[in-house]
Structure 1
């Protein structure tokens, strides 16, 4: 339970009392999907009672952002600046890691949020869609934590140093309860497949642009996977 509490204190803005040693989670980063069930479950419960698809979609996006403390969204903004920067790898890293917010950050935030919002409006079962997408987003974070070689010291390098290759397996197992939701099993399977594809693309892209992964890349992957899975479920 200490590992789960440490995860939720790190990955959510929920008031959970006295801080637990972060190392309890750091040694078990395969638990990331549990945060997805909590955040996505709360968002699903709230939107279940909202009849308007547009309002429900807006509320769902707002809830997941607020419950995550916007930490991963901040990573998306930083990643957007690094992605849009011109020049050498060092200049891209500098753009991603400085404290200013550029046009790349604004564009990344707007595009990803709009895709998630539009997709949720069209989803056949909005509560299930936001839950599936949030769990998949956390699955991707766990995979990048395990597989993403860090290019600098920071929270990601600490988590990556404690991660083991076999963490990928329990992460997948923790996503299997999604198949119990009232949606076609093929949709869930495709959502997990899309998660793997996006995670692989983010690993390849960050390796090429920055020489590895940092916390911003992991956070950006969370936001991009969520939006991508929502869009996929809406198209299905």
Structure 2
């Protein structure tokens, strides 16, 4: 249970009492999807009682951002700055890791949020969609933590140091309860496949542009995966 509490203290803004040693989670980063069930479950529960798809989508997205403390959204903004920076790899890394917020950050935040909002209000089952998207986003974080070679010291390099290749298996297995949701099995299966594709694309892009992965890349992948899965479910 200490590993789960440490996970939730890291991934959520929920009041969970005295801080637990972060290493409990670091040694079991395959537990990431559990945070997806908590965050997505709460957001789904709130959205369930809202009859307006537009309002429900807005509230659901606001809930996942607030519950996550906007930590991963902050990574998306930094990632956007790094992508939009011109020049050498060093300049791109500097743009991503400094404390200023540039046009790339604003563009990344707006585009990803708009796509998620538009897709979510178009889904046939909004609560199931936000829950599925949030769990898939956390599966992506687990995959990237395991596979993403860090280019600098930080939280990601610390987590990556404990990660083992077999972590991919339990992280995937923890997503299987999604098949119990009122969505077609094909939709859930495709969502997991798309999650893996987004991870591969992010890894490839980050290695080419930044020389590896850091916490900002992992956080951005969470936000991008959530939006991508929501769009997928809306189109299906």
TM-score range, shorter chain: over 0.9
User: 1:174-221: CA deviations, max 9, x gaps?
Assistant: 000000001100000010010000010000000000000000000000
How far off its partner does 1:48 sit?
Answer: 0.2
- Structure 1: tracts of 5 or more residues without a match: none
Normalised to the residue count of structure 1, the TM-score between the two structures is: 1.00
Measured after TM superposition, the shift of residue 17 of structure 1 is 0.4
TM-score by length of 2: 1.00
Q: Distance in 1 between matches of 2:71 and 2:100?
A: 16
Partner-residue secondary structure (3-state), 1:150: coil
CA shift for structure 1 position 54: 0.2
What is the SS of the residue equivalent to 2:99?
coil
User: How much has 1:158 moved relative to structure 2?
Assistant: 0.3
CA RMSD, Structure 1 to Structure 2 (Å)? 0.3
Unaligned runs of 5+ in 2: none
Structure 1 residue 234 displacement after superposition: 0.1
Q: Tell me the equivalent position of 2:61.
A: 61
Q: Which residue of 1 aligns with 2:178?
A: 178
Mapped partners of 1:190, 1:129: distance in 2:
13
SS in 1 for 2:49: coil
**Could you tell me how far 1:160 is from its partner in structure 2?**
0.1
1:192 aligns with 2:192: yes
Q: For 1:175 and 1:225, how far apart are their aligned partners in 2?
A: 14
Partner Cα separation in structure 2 for residue 11 and residue 51 of structure 1: 29
In 1, Cα distance between the equivalents of 2:15 and 2:200? 34
**Where do 4+ consecutive residues of structure 1 move more than 3 Å?**
none
